[in-house]
Amino acid sequence: MTDRERHAIWWHVYPLGFLGAEQQATDGPPVHRLRRLVDWLDYARDLGASGLALGPVFDSGTHGYDTVDHFRIDPRLGTDEDFDALVAAAGERGLRVLLDGVFNHVGRGFPAFRQVLEEGPTAPTASWFRLSWPDGPGAEPEYATFEGHRQLVALDHAEPAVADHVAAVMNHWLDRGAAGWRLDAAYAVPTSFWARVVPRVRAAHPDAYLVGEVIHGDYAGFVAESGIDSVTQYELWKAVWSSLNDANLFELSWALDRHNELLDSFVPLTFLGNHDVTRIASRLTDERHLPHALAVLFTVGGTPSVYAGDEQAFRGVKEDREGGDEAVRPAFPDSPDDLAPFGWPTYRLHQDLIGLRRRHPWMHRARTRAVELANERLCYEVRDGDRALLVALNLGDDPAELPAPGAGAPLAGAATVLPGGRVAVPGHGWAVLSTDE
């Protein structure tokens, strides 16, 4: 494991929303919005991030997940030259760039699908899709979709030409300077497909970071069978906000035990928010517990990702309706100087906790162990070999004394170290503590 891996922390941006692009593709000339992200790179670096994780940037019809051309930057965002400039500027600041690859499905405007609609069953690209042709000439085929969305045409991943296309796309943008890929809806694609594609990518780019979007199921099995590096840790995401809202830290402790098992085989991508879910500041019923959630994110093993705006305590509720993502994908101002003042304390808290993690890079693969556990109280040890820290959480109104064997000075948060291996944590307080080891 390299230092780069141990220090990896992503700042995740959904570009079409962040940069205020039109919601529908236009026929006009490219708009060079992507370069505006350069003005945010110092902000991401100062936050403590080591990389910029971009949502979809390729030519699409609407929201970026209905891809039309994987080899072209969406004209609403700019051009290849704008992408190159962003990658170069990120590299100057020590930031890598992760791309979002939508390879489970494409938009109806995807050329291979248009050819099917124009030429019928004899189209040479008909094997790219799972089609059912009705009787009668000129009728449009039925086709597999992504979760019933007619604008999202599912690819047939048993077709060798699809694997050729995906490998070519991934290598093309890695050649241009990308550091890796988030594989959208990876859970909907057979692991055997990834197992055919990934070696072709590794052969040309052995250091590329590949993380799959997997919501539930056998995370470790998916990683082993597909050959990718990691998957999204939705189990822990849910347990963090749910346990804080319900004052049921037994749920969090259970999830951390499960997380330990995953770390035996790979390092999950951990997060409190992304472009698909309600923002953590809106999800929590008690805003006093936002620091508790952050303390967990930045002290457990994993590769943390921060969704742009969460570090400013942005609010936004995801709704299950058409356009229901808009509240969590807002446009940002032209520069960080234009952000509202109320969010900066949360930004500084992120800086403090990310700085703590960067000073203890061993936490990347550290395991946790509950030392004290009750509904409203949890003290857990974070350990990798002979290196350890303690994290104390109190969700109750009253101060709490928690067992904390070997506790030293608080490194973040607030607590008083007492004789006899105990710590006092204020009501709704938290702390990360050094140990005597």
Average pLDDT along the chain, 437 residues, taken 10 residues at a time: 80 98 93 97 98 98 97 98 98 98 98 96 96 82 94 98 98 98 98 98 98 97 98 98 98 98 98 98 98 98 98 96 91 97 98 97 97 98 97 98 96 96 98 90
Cβ count near 64 (within 10 Å): 27
Please choose, from the candidates 246, 316, 241, the residue with its C-alpha nearest in 3D space to the C-alpha of residue 271.
241
Q: Which tokens hold the place of 313?
A: 């305590």
Residue 332: partners with Cβ closer than 8 Å, 6 or more residues away: 18, 19, 20, 40, 308, 309
Q: Which tokens hold the place of 137?
A: 């000439």
Can you name the CATH fold of 367-435? Answer: Immunoglobulin-like (2.60.40)
Q: Cα-atom radius of gyration of the chain, to the nearest Å?
A: 23
pLDDT of residue 129: 98
Supply φ then ψ for residue 399, to 5 degrees: -60, 155
Cβ count near 219 (within 10 Å): 25
Structural domain boundaries in the chain: 3-365, 367-435
Strand order in the sheet with 400-403: 400-403, 422-425, 416-418
pLDDT of residue 108: 97
pLDDT of residue 1: 56
Q: Using CA atoms, how far apart are residues 254 and 189, in angstroms rounded to an integer?
A: 29
- Could you say which architecture CATH assigns to the domain 3-365? Alpha-Beta Barrel (3.20)
- Please say whether the beta carbons of 176 and 84 come within 8 A: yes
Residue 153: partners with Cβ closer than 8 Å, 6 or more residues away: 105, 106, 107, 108, 110, 113, 129, 143, 144, 145, 146
pLDDT of residue 324: 86
Q: Which tokens hold the place of 290?
A: 């936002």
Q: Using CA atoms, how far apart are residues 245 and 247, in angstroms rounded to an integer?
A: 6
pLDDT of residue 437: 61
pLDDT of residue 285: 98
* The domains spanning 3-365 and 367-435 adopt the same CATH topology: no
CA angle 214, 220, 225 (to 5 degrees): 85
pLDDT of residue 167: 98
